[in-house]
Structure 1
């Protein structure tokens, strides 16, 4: 028969941000934010267990700590992208109605009223009891503050309305519970409105394996050289992909009181041990428990654990039930399937009612051990802005903010990135994905590339695509400066002139200083002679006609300078550095400099790369308060040779000061550490993105040494597979999936045959959107 919930409802009132049961038990409720799934290593899990043990020990006797983890299967309805272009709209279509598992966690601290006389009809008893809560509230606040001080957790106390929402969530078994109670059927099976469910409980130490560790090795993500650990309890929490609530209830009592009850039980079992082996075994187990407690000075607690699962139809419930029972078997857990006492367990497992769980369903343990049976990880945190990725568990979409959030939280001091993607792992695919979304979110994007990897995206967004043609060379003028020359620009010009003169050959400090003096004198002279236009040729003439230091020829070989730089003055490269119409890219939001045609040229490749970056730097200095991203895919190599580390430092420093980032991409870490500029690049980069390195296990030690990856980072990195990316932001790391819509795939793909089809259609329509759509249609027909 159907039970009217109002008659058996265990809650008396919710007011003053307190939850009060009908027996006068008063609860404070907190929402707990926990680490992301797969982000913890074994050491961190052990540390969390120790922290939670200390928190439990700090609670006053008579406290019931109830931790509730809610997992709801739901489907995405709301749009996840705001943009109106083809790629943003495709995200919303791709993820619409995708089933995902949500998670919320709550800590409920209950003061046991001891006097189990109902106060529902006695207002005076209720008000008198509330007056004595000051000390309890203070003790709980202290314990929660201790927990929140740790890097793993943040806790926020729920107000009256939020507590009512939580109670509604529990008693409706729905994510948006509301405050209207539903009828419940409680006869050997749980039924709440249209939902049907089952309850399983752990009520004895005999339900558990002999030993329970905080972490277990995950075979799927481990390798021969790395062990990937997950929490022991994960399979029952984030690993159980059905609607469920995991109740973890701890009863903090005086150890001597629990010890007395143990001695009583021991005596009973000892006297009955002659009657059965089972009683003898119980006596032996309890004797071992007491001896261990005395030897290790452990704190006794009572505990109760249960899992409630439900679905909206019996067929699906049977499937979920089988999954859960198989999970129990794999974990070597033998739970009690609650049938006849389902009303006692379900009602008293509600928020704030756990004091009334019957004694026969509680069992004795140690505060040091119970955290291993508690869940302390959650799903990936998603932000409003950032890169749209997926969690690796069920591919739910999340936005990873690599820009503002890490700076505000103190994880990083710069936004620069290094991106490592061994051949075939999808490096250009990932960069396309990041750049396209940043463009959609208002960034100014500059790509410097070899290989035409970003041509489709550039055409799609109507950006500027510059390809260097030897017969029709691009023209620059790095000497033309708006207003006063600043120190950053001067550092670049020093690097540029030294490159034109020395190439990759070393130079002396004196030579660098003299070039600096010539630049200072040149710009001072321009102020006096307004008819001289700033460009390489007039600077060259100034150097050849003047002196800046007495006896400078001792350190400065002007003939060598003349012979090296003359080609850029009136020789074969004269057009490159003498433009009187400087490139103005200030308002262009997507720019690609493609260097494929000159990638093997020893002079033009590094020079044009440097000049392209300088044009971008001018843009960066002028744009205030706008996010600016520079992606350098492989092209950084020519500017990192010899003494070009100074240029790298100049670039990083300038970008950081003007709300920008430099993202340098390459295949292997050796490409970075084997260059003179390598240390400068690594020291100025707080964010690392690495694609699958399973075939690069030999680089494990180098990654540890040069990128400061700890063992936990390496375990995560080498667990990555295709279309997964390891991301480390400061000291925080995790792995994400790169899962995209058909439209994004078509735009990012580097497959030669696919690109040939798309560019043929683009040549026909002169419209990249149509070309991508035709490719998708063609693929579907195939």
Structure 2
């Protein structure tokens, strides 16, 4: 049987004439300017911000002249993550991370805005006058150049207002981006093939009353083109129940169900038709009079007359501009079963917006054709409905998926919705942009919230990007990672210190490699001695501080002049002999500085004392060149004397790095050990560290799991929280009843509170991950997923049985932790495949 269907070439029907000065010119003399649109990220916008975004759209629409069409087109395309495994410097764990996410499907979002200047006649054309129905398209001439000039000025103003708002960014599209080049496809080619591949091949487009097909893809079209299909009320945003609690609201735009939440290939078209508002209202007045005169014949006429009068009253009472609008969701699939599912999913998404789902089969072809960028003038007017600008804008989607930071430095996290890896810079870029003034971080997460996994994941990536990392731990959280680094560097790096009586951590506070005692070194020594001397609840007087400062300065001068070996023993003897004589000469009273008491308290650290080994080390901790150091001090965490002193010894190691490693990134992460240095007697030390580290390209990170610690300690608030512009919180549901106190302590906004309380509330059961909230400077915040590969899990795990399994196998493999992790990982992957 012969094929009787009519065929035509795309060239003969194509409605666009040319692209000039980055503007699309149609054959009907319509002029279109195209923009790429960058929207705020999903789950990061609060109620007031949605209102502000809505207000900005309203302002810019008001600036446009009559007979202009605003066409916002959102593409949602299913893509797969392609890892970059070609880098030579990638570590074993980095490669395993990339392999773990290989081919991970996710929904990508691209947003465009097309502003079209057309004519009054074109705005009123119906579907039977579409360019699809014409035999031959004869290009028309643009007659009024002045109107086009005013239109271009209005669009420039629109772009400026949008970009100045700080919420939405518009970028003018170039001719190459619209039409494409030999290296990449353009937007027009992508739309006509429904593909964002580099060079998609053009396929047959079948336009029928029952079915529309592009190549093998069949199109399903749902439209909002009648007021009867619309909800009773609309708003700029709506509550997302899955991530909301009785104490917090997670908000999304009103149209989000047909945006990123609709997980399939689809395009969401949003049209606003700006007619002459006065003429529209005159037509409605005439229509109302007609309905009134015919009301006696039909109750429907009476009802229609009342609705028209309500519309007119709204318009005249509030000075509203009458416009027309249309919205449609176009989804597609090459599988008939999947297409049926897409229809159901799209209908359900519209129902969530309280709209009546209408599957359009009549005008699918003309609606698709009008959706060609630059061809909005071909839109069939009978598919639009009358409304006002503000309610129409509620149907705009206002968020996009998480975006990679445009920075070479950062850490890899995952998108909480789709699981796609995200490159995230929470240190350098925010500093450059003025979002934060320091790189310090405060991490709060109860036991079991995934805190150790996140910190392991973060410090590992910092280390691999050249940072010097020093960790103070009280629970062997970093032993696996440290052993892996040690094996990889053949013992050159990955230093793991554990305090034992046979081999205690010791140092010499008066030793410097270069003999230079700068301000930082002197302050460090004074803080240490003050800690040994005074109790937590016994702050020094002003005269005692001066006396101690003079004693330290005097001993340092003695070292320089006498060329003697510096040590704490030497300092003690100097104070006992020479400095005591100086005080006698100055007639310093005992109540101002009790030197006998001072020497008596410091005697246990002097030669022959109980702790004489702590501060008189003959060998120095030569850790300047070591880039990954872990001090595990769990054995002495409850020792009132050793714990604070050993902690300060460790801090001295970091401060030495801080002073001497110029231009090198430095990171100190302190787990529960911060409690020892956050007491009254040592508060100055931690204040000094947190305020000074930023000047040396460094960052101090404090980790805690006890919420009462941060609520009850004023030192934490003054020293740590106020000097940590980056705050990181994990699952806080255990502290739900105390969260108001945490919110007040950390200075979190209501938006940030809602984000934190949404952590782990709607996790995908097919993926194994924990969520984490990251807030920067009180202005930028989002929730991310910490998802790692099996190899990374084995390196980070704090589960005793799993750590022992790795270490025991490593001992059988000549201490090679990497090979042990590879072998266990392979066995687990095979086991999972069998189970599935």
Name 2:775's counterpart in structure 1: 728
**Aligned-partner Cα distance in 1 for 2:646–2:640:** 11
Deviating more after overlay: 449-458 vs 206-215? 206-215
Name 2:490's counterpart in structure 1: none
1:77 corresponds to 2:82? yes
Name 1:136's counterpart in structure 2: 151
**Aligned-partner Cα distance in 2 for 1:24–1:180:** 29
Alignment of structure 1 residues 683-722 onto 2, 5 Å: 683-721=722-760
Name 2:166's counterpart in structure 1: 151
**Aligned-partner Cα distance in 1 for 2:597–2:165:** 62
Deviating more after overlay: 307-316 vs 495-504? 307-316
1:263 corresponds to 2:285? yes
SS in 2 for 1:643: helix
Count of aligned residue pairs for this structure pair: 780
The TM-score with structure 1 as length reference comes to 0.95
Name 1:205's counterpart in structure 2: 227
Offset of 1:44 from its aligned partner?
1.7
Name 2:114's counterpart in structure 1: 108
1:498 corresponds to 2:503? no
Q: In 2 relative to 1, CA 422–181 (structure 1 residues): closer, same or farther, beyond 3 Å?
A: same
Match of 1:565 among 582, 602, 606: 602
Match of 2:548 among 515, 525, 531: 515
Match of 1:52 among 30, 51, 57: 57
**Aligned-partner Cα distance in 2 for 1:62–1:733:** 41
Name 2:635's counterpart in structure 1: 597
Alignment of structure 1 residues 548-587 onto 2, 5 Å: 550-554=586-590, 555-570=592-607, 571-587=609-625
1:382–1:400 Cα contact (<8 Å) kept = yes
1:449 corresponds to 2:473? yes
1:14 corresponds to 2:52? no
- For the aligned residue pairs, the C-alpha RMSD in angstroms reads 2.3
Offset of 1:121 from its aligned partner?
8.1
CA distances 1:109-158 after superposition (whole Å, capped 9, x unpaired): 112245769999888935x6667633322221111111111221222111
**Aligned-partner Cα distance in 2 for 1:179–1:265:** 50
Mark the runs of 5 or more structure 1 residues left unpaired by the alignment. Answer: none
Alignment of structure 1 residues 359-508 onto 2, 5 Å: 359-383=381-405, 384-462=408-486, 463-481=494-512, 482-504=514-536, 505-508=538-541
1:92 corresponds to 2:98? yes
**Aligned-partner Cα distance in 2 for 1:357–1:777:** 57
Name 1:763's counterpart in structure 2: 811
Q: In 2 relative to 1, CA 270–96 (structure 1 residues): closer, same or farther, beyond 3 Å?
A: farther
Offset of 1:277 from its aligned partner?
4.8
1:322 corresponds to 2:344? yes
CA distances 1:55-78 after superposition (whole Å, capped 9, x unpaired): 211222232211111110011123
2:60–2:161 Cα contact (<8 Å) kept = yes
SS in 2 for 1:133: helix
Q: In 2 relative to 1, CA 73–507 (structure 1 residues): closer, same or farther, beyond 3 Å?
A: same
CA distances 1:380-434 after superposition (whole Å, capped 9, x unpaired): 1112542211122121111221011111222111111100011221211111111
SS in 2 for 1:411: coil
CA distances 1:201-255 after superposition (whole Å, capped 9, x unpaired): 2112221111112222222212222222222211100100111111111122332
Deviating more after overlay: 428-437 vs 508-517? 508-517
Q: In 2 relative to 1, CA 706–775 (structure 1 residues): closer, same or farther, beyond 3 Å?
A: same
**Aligned-partner Cα distance in 2 for 1:348–1:177:** 24
SS in 2 for 1:107: strand
Name 2:799's counterpart in structure 1: 751
1:605–1:638 Cα contact (<8 Å) kept = yes
Name 1:161's counterpart in structure 2: 176
SS in 2 for 1:546: helix
Offset of 1:444 from its aligned partner?
1.7
Offset of 1:767 from its aligned partner?
1.2
Moved over 6 A (4+): 117-124
Offset of 1:727 from its aligned partner?
1.1
Q: In 2 relative to 1, CA 343–67 (structure 1 residues): closer, same or farther, beyond 3 Å?
A: same
Match of 2:240 among 198, 206, 218: 218
2:29–2:139 Cα contact (<8 Å) kept = no
Offset of 1:273 from its aligned partner?
4.9
CA distances 1:426-454 after superposition (whole Å, capped 9, x unpaired): 21111111111222222221111001110
2:27–2:137 Cα contact (<8 Å) kept = no
1:81–1:88 Cα contact (<8 Å) kept = no
Q: In 2 relative to 1, CA 280–30 (structure 1 residues): closer, same or farther, beyond 3 Å?
A: same
Name 1:634's counterpart in structure 2: 672
The TM-score with structure 2 as length reference comes to 0.89
**Aligned-partner Cα distance in 2 for 1:21–1:180:** 24
1:418–1:685 Cα contact (<8 Å) kept = yes
**Aligned-partner Cα distance in 2 for 1:190–1:491:** 77
Q: In 2 relative to 1, CA 135–601 (structure 1 residues): closer, same or farther, beyond 3 Å?
A: same
Offset of 1:773 from its aligned partner?
2.6
Deviating more after overlay: 681-690 vs 303-312? 303-312
Name 1:621's counterpart in structure 2: 659
**Aligned-partner Cα distance in 1 for 2:572–2:271:** 80
1:717–1:735 Cα contact (<8 Å) kept = yes
CA distances 1:607-628 after superposition (whole Å, capped 9, x unpaired): 1111111101211222222222
Q: In 2 relative to 1, CA 399–279 (structure 1 residues): closer, same or farther, beyond 3 Å?
A: farther
Name 2:763's counterpart in structure 1: none
Name 2:356's counterpart in structure 1: 334
**Aligned-partner Cα distance in 2 for 1:509–1:526:** 26
SS in 2 for 1:321: helix
SS in 2 for 1:696: helix
Offset of 1:267 from its aligned partner?
4.2
Name 2:206's counterpart in structure 1: 185
**Aligned-partner Cα distance in 2 for 1:519–1:501:** 14
SS in 2 for 1:289: helix
Name 1:533's counterpart in structure 2: 565
Q: In 2 relative to 1, CA 266–390 (structure 1 residues): closer, same or farther, beyond 3 Å?
A: farther
Q: In 2 relative to 1, CA 270–746 (structure 1 residues): closer, same or farther, beyond 3 Å?
A: farther
Name 2:766's counterpart in structure 1: none
SS in 2 for 1:402: coil
1:12–1:21 Cα contact (<8 Å) kept = yes
1:648 corresponds to 2:670? no
**Aligned-partner Cα distance in 1 for 2:661–2:458:** 21
Offset of 1:553 from its aligned partner?
3.8
2:727–2:775 Cα contact (<8 Å) kept = yes
SS in 2 for 1:602: coil
Offset of 1:746 from its aligned partner?
1.3
**Aligned-partner Cα distance in 2 for 1:611–1:466:** 12
**Aligned-partner Cα distance in 1 for 2:295–2:659:** 85
SS in 1 for 2:426: coil
**Aligned-partner Cα distance in 2 for 1:777–1:358:** 59
**Aligned-partner Cα distance in 2 for 1:166–1:80:** 30
**Aligned-partner Cα distance in 1 for 2:414–2:294:** 58
**Aligned-partner Cα distance in 1 for 2:154–2:518:** 58
Name 2:626's counterpart in structure 1: 588
Deviating more after overlay: 294-303 vs 460-469? 294-303
SS in 2 for 1:695: helix
